[in-house]
Amino acid sequence: MVFNENFINIKVNAERGEGPALARKYGITSFPTLIYLNSNGEVVKEQQGMATATQIMNQANEVMSNNF
């Protein structure tokens, strides 16, 4: 619920379609990578590699509490 209510969520395959261009734009070099963008398209938080559900929830709460 946290993500659907507070974020616009998209999943991108960085090897197909518009994925390679987005990976270059945001400097993504390892997979999986989770990025949080503000309304200007700027990265405010990034998680490279695997993360636990608890880590991801903590990151989301941090992003929301910082009002990006």
Structural domains of the chain, ranges and CATH numbers in brackets: 2-65 (3.40.30.10)
Q: Which helix (H) or strand (E) holds 21?
A: helix 19-25
Give the pTM: 0.84
- Compute the half-sphere exposure of residue 39: CA atoms within 13 Å on the CB side of its CA: 4
Distance CA 17, CA 10 (A): 14
pLDDT one digit per residue (tens) for the chain, 68 residues: 789 999 999 999 999 999 999 999 999 999 999 999 999 999 999 999 999 999 999 999 999 999 76
pLDDT at 52: 96
pLDDT at 68: 62
- Rounding to the nearest 10 degrees, give the CA dihedral for residues 19, 25, 29, 32: -50
Distance CA 36, CA 42 (A): 8
